[in-house]
C-alpha cells in the first residue's frame, strides 16, 4: 500500500467494444474506494458507431468518458499513430500513476507504448494470451503490450506460461481471472429479463447466433462467401440471427453476397446480445470474447478460425475450431445441432466474477 494519503491516479483506456466489458467492473470496484483512487476514463474512439459504443456505456454503468480522442477508423498504422499522437498530451496533463490497458486492439498497444516511453507504469488486463499467429494484428498488439507492461493480469493459466516462456519476470505476472466474466456474472440476470421482448421481435426458439468481424474472414471474399453459403443453407432448417459488424456489412454489400435467408440486424447492445447468446442452440463466431462467454454459459460455440489465443475454451469449454470451407462448416454445424446436448457450464478457476476485485487489491499494494 502506498505510504502517503494521496489517491492513486488511474487512467483507463478503452477503444473498442470488447474493452468496455473488461474495464467496467474494474472502474466500478475502484469507484467504491474513491478515497484511494482517482480515475480518468479515456476513449480513443477506435469504435465510434453508436451501436458499437454509446449503448455500452449506458448498459455497463460506465460514465461518459472524461476524454474522447475521436480517432475513428483507418489503416492499422494510421489509427495507431493518431492514437499515440492524441494520447500523449492527455498523459502529460493528467500524469497518472498507472495506465490500465485491456485486451489486444490498436488502442491497447498505442497507449501502452506512449505511457512506457514517458516512464508511466502500464497494467495490462488480459495479458499473456497467444494464438502464435503473427498474421493476426491482435497477436502483435498482445506481444508488444505485454513486453511494455509493468504488471500483467492474466485470465487463464496459459497466459502465465506464455509470459514466462518469453522471459517476463514472474513477479510481474498475476493470475486474477477474467474481468469479462465479472461483467457477465453481474448482468446476466438483467439480460435474461429481455428474452420475452426479443422472442416477440425475432420469433426465435431454437436458433443459431452469428458474429463475424475478423479481416481473415470478412475481407477475403471467397472465404466470406463460403461462410455465408453454409449459414444460408442451414437457415432452411434453423433460424440464423446475425448482428452485423459495420465493416462486415460494408463488405457484404460491396460483394453483393446473398444473405437474404439470414436475419441480419444492426449490432446489438450488450444486454440484448447476452440474452440471445444465453438462449442460443449454437454460436458461430470469430470473436475471442464470445468464445469465453459461451464457455462460461455452457453454450456450444464454433469458432471459424484455424487457431485461438484462448485454449481454455477448447480444453475446458464448449468451443471448437472449424474450417471456413462451406461443406466442412455445414457438417460441423449440423453435428452440434443434431447432437442436441445440453452443456453444463464448467467450473473454471477464478472465473468467479471477482477478477476485478483481485486486480484492484493488487494495484492498491503497488509502489507508484
CA distance 259 to 230: 11
Alpha carbons within 13 A on the beta-carbon side of 269: 16
**How far, in Å, CA of 22 to CA of 14, rounded?**
9
**Above 80 in pLDDT, residue 257?**
yes
How do residues 22-41 score in pLDDT, each as one tens digit?
A: 999 999 999 999 999 999 99
**The sheet that has 282-285: what strands, in order across it?**
263-265, 240-243, 208-210, 282-285, 301-303, 319-321
Mean residue pLDDT of the chain comes to 93
Q: Where is average pLDDT lowest: 5-19, 39-53, 62-76, 279-293?
A: 39-53
List CB contacts of 228: < 8 A, sequence separation 6 or more. 252, 257, 258, 259, 262
| Domain residue ranges of the chain, discontinuous segments joined by + | 8-177+351-364, 188-339
Alpha carbon distance 217, 202 (integer Å): 26
213 catalytic, yes or no? yes
Q: Whose CA is closest to 13, among 33, 38, 43?
A: 43
- Active-site choice (47, 124, 147, 213): 213
CATH 3.40.50.2000 assigned to domain 8-177+351-364? The reply is yes
Q: What is the pLDDT of residues 321-359, one digit of tens each?
A: 999 999 999 999 999 999 876 667 778 999 999 999 999
Judge whether residue 1 has pLDDT over 50. no
Q: Which pLDDT does position 18 carry in this prediction?
A: 87
For the stretch 264-320, pLDDT in tens is 999 999 999 999 999 999 999 999 999 999 999 999 999 999 999 999 999 998 999
Residue 192 pLDDT more than 90? yes
pLDDT at position 92 is 98
Q: How confident is the model over 110-126, as a mean pLDDT?
A: 98
State the sign of the Cα–Cα–Cα–Cα dihedral 294, 299, 305, 310: positive
CB 242 within 8 A of CB 217: no
Which three cell numbers, joined as nine digits, stand for 238?
Answer: 434453423
pLDDT, one tens digit per residue, over 146-182 is 999 999 999 999 999 999 999 999 999 999 999 999 9
Task: Name the nearest CA neighbour of 365 among 123, 14, 20.
Answer: 123
Q: What is the pLDDT of residue 20?
A: 93
Query: Does residue 73 carry a pLDDT above 90?
Result: no
- Per residue in 234-256, pLDDT tens? 999 999 999 998 888 888 888 88
Q: Considering the domain delimited by 188-339, tell me its CATH architecture.
A: 3-Layer(aba) Sandwich (3.40)
> Is pLDDT at 90 greater than 70 in this prediction?
yes
Strands (E), the chain: 8-14, 37-43, 67-68, 98-102, 121-127, 151-154, 173-175, 208-210, 240-243, 263-265, 282-285, 301-303, 319-321
Instruction: Find residue 13's DSSP bridge partners.
Output: 42
The predicted pLDDT at position 287 comes to: 95
Instruction: Please compute, for residue 179, the number of CA atoms within 13 A of its CA located in the half-sphere on the CB side.
Output: 28
Residues in contact with 224: Cβ distance below 8 Å, sequence separation at least 6, in sequence order: 212, 217, 218, 251, 252, 255, 257
Q: Say if residues 313 and 292 touch (Cβ distance below 8 Å).
A: yes
Domain 188-339 in the same topology as domain 8-177+351-364:
yes
Contact 208/280 with Cβ under 8 angstroms? yes
Nine-digit cell string for 317: 469449454
Amino acid at each position: 500500500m502506498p505510504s502517503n494519503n494521496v489517491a492513486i491516479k488511474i487512467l483507463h483506456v478503452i477503444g473498442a467494444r470488447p474493452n468496455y466489458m473488461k474495464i467496467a467492473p474494474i472502474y466500478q470496484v475502484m469507484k467504491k474506494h474513491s478515497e484511494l483512487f482517482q480515475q480518468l476514463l479515456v476513449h480513443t474512439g477506435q469504435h465510434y458507431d453508436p451501436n458499437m459504443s454509446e449503448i455500452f456505456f449506458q448498459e455497463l454503468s460506465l460514465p461518459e468518458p472524461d476524454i474522447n480522442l475521436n480517432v475513428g477508423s483507418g489503416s492499422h498504422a494510421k489509427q495507431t499513430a493518431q492514437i499515440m499522437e492524441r494520447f500523449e498530451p492527455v498523459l502529460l496533463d493528467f500524469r497518472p500513476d498507472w495506465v490500465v490497458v485491456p485486451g489486444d486492439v490498436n488502442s491497447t498497444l498505442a497507449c501502452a507504448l506512449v505511457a512506457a516511453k514517458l516512464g508511466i507504469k502500464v497494467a495490462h488486463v488480459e495479458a499473456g494470451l497467444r494464438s502464435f499467429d503473427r498474421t493476426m494484428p491482435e497477436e502483435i498488439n498482445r506481444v508488444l503490450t505485454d513486453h511494455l507492461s509493468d504488471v500483467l493480469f492474466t485470465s487463464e493459466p496459459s497466459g502465465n506460461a506464455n509470459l514466462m516462456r518469453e522471459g517476463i519476470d514472474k513477479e510481474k505476472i498475476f493470475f486474477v481471472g477474467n474481468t469479462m466474466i465479472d461483467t457477465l456474472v453481474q448482468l446476466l440476470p438483467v439480460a435474461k429479463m429481455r428474452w420475452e421482448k426479443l422472442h416477440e421481435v425475432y420469433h426465435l426458439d431454437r436458433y443459431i447466433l452469428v458474429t463475424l468481424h475478423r479481416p481473415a474472414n470478412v475481407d477475403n471474399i471467397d472465404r466470406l462467401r463460403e461462410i455465408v453459403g453454409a449459414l444460408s443453407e442451414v437457415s432452411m432448417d434453423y433460424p440464423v440471427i446475425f448482428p452485423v459488424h459495420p465493416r462486415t456489412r460494408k463488405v457484404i454489400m460491396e460483394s453483393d453476397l446473398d444473405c437474404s435467408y439470414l436475419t441480419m440486424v444492426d449490432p446489438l447492445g450488450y444486454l440484448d446480445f447476452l440474452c440471445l447468446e444465453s438462449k442460443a442452440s449454437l454460436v458461430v463466431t470469430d470473436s475471442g470474447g464470445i468464445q469465453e462467454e459461451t464457455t462460461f454459459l455452457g453454450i456450444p460455440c464454433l469458432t471459424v478460425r484455424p487457431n485461438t489465443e484462448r485454449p481454455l475454451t477448447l480444453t475446458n469449454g464448449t468451443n471448437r475450431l472449424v474450417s471456413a470451407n462451406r461443406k466442412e462448416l455445414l457438417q460441423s454445424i449440423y453435428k452440434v445441432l443434431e447432437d442436441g446436448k445440453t452443456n453444463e457450464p464448467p467450473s473454471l478457476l477464478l472465473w468467479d466474477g471477482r477478477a476485478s476485485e483481485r486486480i484492484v487489491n493488487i494495484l492498491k499494494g503497488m509502489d507508484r
